[in-house]
Amino acid sequence: MDIQAIKQRFGIIGNNPVLDRAIDIARQVAATDITVLVSGESGTGKEFFPKIIHQLSARKHGPYIAVNCGAIPEGTIDSELFGHEKGSFTGAHEARKGYFEVVDGGTIFLDEVAELPLGTQVRLLRVLESGEFMRVGSSKVLKTNVRVVGATNVNIPDAISNGKFRQDLYYRLNTVPILVPALRERKDDIYLLFRKFAADAAEKYRMPPIQVDDEAQQVLRNYRWPGNIRQLKNLTEQISIIEKNRMIDVATIIKYLPQGQSNELPVLYKGEDASKFNERELLYKVLFDMKKDMNDLKQLVMNLMQHENTISSNLGENTHLIKRLYKDFEEGKDISQPIIVHSADTHFSDQDTIQEPEEVEESLSLEKKEIDFIKRALARHEGKRKDAARELGISERTLYRKIKEYDIE
């Protein structure tokens, strides 16, 4: 079975080379009984890989079970995995088989394997090396033939250094490593996944699927996605259910990102100053606001042109100047420059007084826009800098420095 067929069978979306490499390794290792360790951040879809390995192996007709090691209390994890005898501890009213005994001949997926207690790690190492184990409260050695696939979002070498994970167990589990890339490393796949989740939500809740414009797609692409695919799916479902407009723009996307801040901006690179990054976020907000102002101006000019007849008494014979302004705007010319009115551009009667051209120039300074944002935020929160900084998406320290730099009272 080729990689594309595996994606279709297991519902995996994406064309990232690192993802394809991980699927290819799972396909090749499936025919063996080698232990596999799947690594990757939480929410990246690690649970698909043990299923691929099991379904493509000779054990596919045997049992398969997934165990979340981090969700089982430390006091009962040994009993869950290896079973116990009647009376071995308080509450053990009868003997019970553990997962390794029940899944004999199949595959067991140990999710969050790094969360296992050290004592349980010793028992697991023995199973991996010899297939032998003992129930809790028993001295009888039992045998099992189980394929083990582990997964973790923890840096196990660091856990080994901190004494929380056994080095010998790590090398035994990590016979064949599979690395699942984070969503931010699969930028070209983000929109594909968004469309899939939008279509699923539309079918589930019987509504038209949402779509995003080009700028909103760029926001999705550049956001860091700390929760990976799980976070993207939740966000898509939220927007699908709450928003009435099926075409989603930048403002709507930003509203659903955590704390409503501009976290869709590029991630901070190693060595980049954090205060500069916060300033860049503020500048992006200024640019977005400037673009909105330009769109408002465009709409205003269009409205003036459409209502030329009804407002001619107020505008006189100068309506054609508005048309000229709109034409310059459409052609990408700088409309912030002064407009000089020449005699050829208008008509005057004998009673009209020709006045000197009046120069009107709107400042598009980023610095002035930034000062305006800060003043408005401080006024809205009655001078509380902490709340104002949170709304602006910058640190309180950066806001304090900006206030001093611009001498804002």
- The DSSP output letter for 244 is S
Pairing of strands 132-134, 141-143: antiparallel
Cα end-to-end span (Å), the chain: 69
Q: Report the alpha-carbon distance of residue 131 to residue 123 in Å, rounded.
A: 10
Whole-model pTM: value is 0.63
pLDDT in tens, the chain (409 residues): 899 999 999 999 999 999 999 999 999 999 999 999 999 999 999 999 999 999 999 999 999 999 999 999 988 999 999 999 988 888 888 999 999 999 999 999 999 999 999 999 999 999 999 999 999 999 999 999 999 999 999 999 999 999 999 999 999 999 999 999 999 999 999 999 999 999 999 999 999 999 999 999 999 999 999 999 999 999 999 999 999 999 999 999 999 988 644 444 444 444 444 444 455 555 655 566 666 666 666 666 666 666 554 444 444 445 555 556 556 655 655 555 555 544 444 444 444 444 444 444 444 566 777 888 888 888 888 888 888 888 877 888 788 888 888 888 7
Q: Report the alpha-carbon distance of residue 391 to residue 282 in Å, rounded.
A: 10
Phi-psi region of 72 (alpha: psi -120 to 50; beta: other; left: phi over 0): beta
The pLDDT value recorded for residue 372 is 82
Q: Report the alpha-carbon distance of residue 264 to residue 255 in Å, rounded.
A: 11
The pLDDT value recorded for residue 347 is 46
CA 198, 204, 209, 214: dihedral to nearest 10 degrees?
Answer: -10
CA angle 77, 53, 180 (to 5 degrees): 80
Residue 29 near residue 35, CB atoms below 8 Å: no
Q: Report the alpha-carbon distance of residue 225 to residue 270 in Å, rounded.
A: 18
Which residue segments constitute the domains of the chain, with CATH numbers given? 3-181 (3.40.50.300), 184-260 (1.10.8.60), 273-335+361-409 (no CATH)
Q: Report the alpha-carbon distance of residue 361 to residue 12 in Å, rounded.
A: 55
Q: Report the alpha-carbon distance of residue 394 to residue 105 in Å, rounded.
A: 56
H-type alpha helices, 56-209: 77-82, 99-102, 118-130, 156-161, 167-173, 187-205
Q: How many other C-beta atoms are found inside a 10 Å radius of the C-beta of residue 157?
A: 11
Work out whether the CA dihedral 69, 20, 196, 255 comes out positive or negative.
positive
The pLDDT value recorded for residue 268 is 42
